[in-house]
Homo-oligomer: A and B are copies of this chain.
Amino acid sequence: MRSEVSQPLSLKKIHVTDPFWAREIGLIRQAVIPYQWKALHDQIPDAAPSWWAHNMRAAARAVAAKKAGGLFVPAHHSEKIETLPEDGKKPLEDAFYGFVFQDSDGYKWLEAVAYQLMSRPDAALQAQAQEAVDMICAAQEEDGYLDTFYTLTDRDRAFTNLRDNHELYCFGHLAEAAVAWHQATGKDDLLNAARRFAECIANKFGPDKERGCPGHEIAEMALMRLYEETGEIRWRDLSQFFLDVRGTDPNTFALEENRRRAEKGLPELPVSSERYRYHQANVPVRDITEAVGHAVRQMYLACGMADEARVADDAKMLDACERLWHSVVEQKLYITGGIGATHVGEAFSRPYDLPADTAYSETCAAIGLAFFARRMLQLKPLSNYADVMEQALYNTVLSGMALDGQSFFYVNPLEVDPDACETDQRLSHVKAVRQKWFGCACCPPNIARIVSSLGQYIVTQSKDTLFFHLYIGSDMTVNLGGSEMTLRLEADLLKNGDVRLSVTDGEAQGTLAFRDPAWASNAQVKIPAGVKSWSENGYLYAKGMWKQGDQITIHFTMPVIAVKANPMVKETMNQVCFTRGPLVFCAEEADNGKGLHLLRALPDQVAGAREKTMAIDGLTLPAVVLPGRRIIAPDENAPLYAPWTPAKTEDAEITLVPYFAWNNRGKGEMRVWLAAE
């Protein structure tokens, strides 16, 4: 393994103290986790039910009945992949309800709880989590199989539809939760459940067994994590098998579909992989050149690929990861760190197709991008990976949740006109107001787990170097060159670019590397005398003997920047948006009135931008006031078309707030990209 490969710190070793992010992590603990526990138990009034607890308990009864030698008669069969109680009828006690991937809601919740427990023990919360763990373990079948959908429908059809039926996806989330739970509590109850399910899967699929791979990726990276936690190499092998088989002909999704069709006497479909772009099974993974299909799936696959590149030092896989990265970052990324430009298949669109108003930009996809970026940073410390990770975290990931943690966006558009998206079926995926919960509730618990594990994105460590990727205030304990020391990182990027790193205890020999963010045009760095420093790949390296009291201070300039998109992006032609540090700003109706498309920003006068703070839902947040113009709205009877004349404008102050904070002051228009004059 190359020496530059790095690992995140245990969450027991890093504690976030950042004024902004510590509040977010606390909000997850105090508001979001309890709220989601209620959601898992269908106790949020007027919200779509999760069915998680219902399904787990029903499955546990079915498993117990089978163990007792009884007969379990399913209420539904597995043909229906989404089931709901009949109109107006009470749910059947023993029926599966919701989407086939409903089990994952609870696994994600549990994973978030485990991260929270790692940074701060909490007996009551741990007891609640233990209840969930017990429910899950009780639902596991004797052969290790653990998926309430098939347990409650047709267990004998398990693994017959990997493409659609998400059991390997649920496994992946189970394994991720199990590793986190094990790390947090030392308990192996859930870890053993994950291993038993993994073994059940490995008994079915493998080089000398059946060919197959996940229809929704995550098992790949989860198996790598299970391998790294347990040291059991068979899980790495299974992950590699899933990666290797994907996108090769005859395509396994086609084969399994043909088996299902044969049962019904239907003719065979072609077994070429080309049809499976949505599932990233169109080409072998090492041949990937473009991010395609369902954006979350693509990112989770990318994570598994990056883990494989790291764990197996697989150069071809690393090349593929890099090509995938460039495809996203150079052609398919919203300025907000969102990905997935089309609601059709929640998918990547063609290069440079990045519409603002019809954007999908799913919260989970931005989370997946941050996962991928962190893994690329582990492989190679290039600041671009961290820039994009930061862009996703501070903008789309946060936008997915209201400031009070009680409502969520699944879709994160860059332009909203509530009148339009509430009446226009072409915009039916765009909500003007965050929702309490979703039938397909992937995003809320995904936010909870990434924010709760934020410490693992701030720094990573190789043998002798500690990399500071994000400037998020935190206290940490590291072991460099065999010696332990504690460090304090002080930063508050929502205010300014001042960063201070102090050695608060101990001493150690090694290198500290600080990212030079793309948004900082200038950095003033003070390092202790005698420390050797150099710059490489967007990081400033400082190598020396570190001891208590040492400080490094960096002042990054953090001006408001007027940003333009590559001219190949048609949708932002003649438009500009504004950023400051990691934050993308947007105009809201609350500050600028209706008709945001009439505003004309003056990118040449960005130096005249005035920074101020604004209270939004009790938080003090940065805002920007720009000199601008506004087209004088024509009267109602003005002609639709007229000979060209310059638009009549008046002076207008344009007030911008952070994109992540939009829609926390009632329903209204919002725009990230403004017309440029």
Contact = CB atoms under 8 A, between A and B. Distances in A.
Contact of A568 (B329, B358, B634): B634
Given A424-B349, A573-B675, A598 B633 contact: no
Interface in A632-662: 633-634, 636-645, 647
Contacts of A636: 330
A419 interface: yes
Interface string A559-581: 00111111111100110100000
Interface residues of A, number: 54
A410 B6 CA distance: 58
Contacts of A603: 644
A426 interface: yes
A563 to B, nearest CB: 5
A639 B566 contact: yes
Interface of A: 326, 329-331, 333, 335, 342-344, 349-350, 353, 358, 419-420, 423-426, 561-570, 573-574, 576, 595, 597-598, 603-604, 606, 631, 633-634, 636-645, 647, 675-676
Contacts of A573: 574, 597, 675
Contact of A640 (B331, B349, B424): B331
Nearest to A606: B644
Nearest to A349: B424
A645 B344 contact: no
B640 A333 contact: yes
A178 to B, nearest CB: 38
Given A573-B675, A675-B573, A641 B567 contact: no
Contacts of A561: 643-644
Contacts of A644: 561-564, 576, 603-604, 606, 676
A620 B675 CA distance: 40
Nearest to A347: B425
A561 B645 CA distance: 11
Contacts of A597: 567, 570, 573
B426 A567 contact: no
Nearest to A643: B561
B637 A419 contact: no
Nearest to A331: B640
Contacts of A638: 330, 566
A343 B640 CA distance: 21
B631 A350 contact: no
A579 to B, nearest CB: 9
A644 B335 CA distance: 14
Nearest to A563: B641
A425 to B, nearest CB: 4
A330 B640 contact: yes
Closest 4 CB pairs of A and B: A562-B644, A603-B644, A574-B574, A344-B425
A639 B420 contact: no
A645 B350 contact: no
B420 A350 contact: yes
Contacts of A637: 326, 330
A358 B640 CA distance: 19
A335 B643 CA distance: 12
A389 to B, nearest CB: 15
Contacts of A634: 566-568
A425 B330 CA distance: 23
Contact of A344 (B353, B426, B595, B642): B426
A333 B639 CA distance: 11
A572 to B, nearest CB: 9
B563 A642 contact: yes
Contact of A643 (B342, B563, B633, B675): B563
Nearest to A577: B641
Question: Looking at A425, A570, A604, A639, which has the most chain B CB atoms within 10 Å of its CB?
Answer: A570
B570 A641 contact: no
Given A419-B350, A573-B597, A564 B424 contact: no
A349 B567 CA distance: 29
A568 B633 CA distance: 7
A342 B564 contact: no
Contact of A567 (B329, B425, B574, B633): B633
Nearest to A584: B641
Contacts of A570: 597
Contacts of A349: 424
Contacts of A350: 419-420, 423-424
A294 to B, nearest CB: 14
A333 B641 CA distance: 9
A492 B250 CA distance: 63
A176 B420 CA distance: 39
Nearest to A419: B350
A595 B358 CA distance: 22
A159 to B, nearest CB: 30
Contacts of A574: 573-574, 675
B642 A567 contact: no
A335 B642 CA distance: 10
Contacts of A647: 564, 567
A576 B566 CA distance: 21
A326 B326 CA distance: 50
A190 to B, nearest CB: 41
B564 A641 contact: yes
A267 to B, nearest CB: 10
Contacts of A344: 424-426
18 contacts: A330-B636, A330-B638, A331-B640, A350-B424, A353-B420, A561-B644, A562-B643, A563-B641, A564-B647, A567-B597, A567-B631, A567-B647, A568-B633, A573-B675, A574-B675, A576-B644, A603-B644, A604-B644
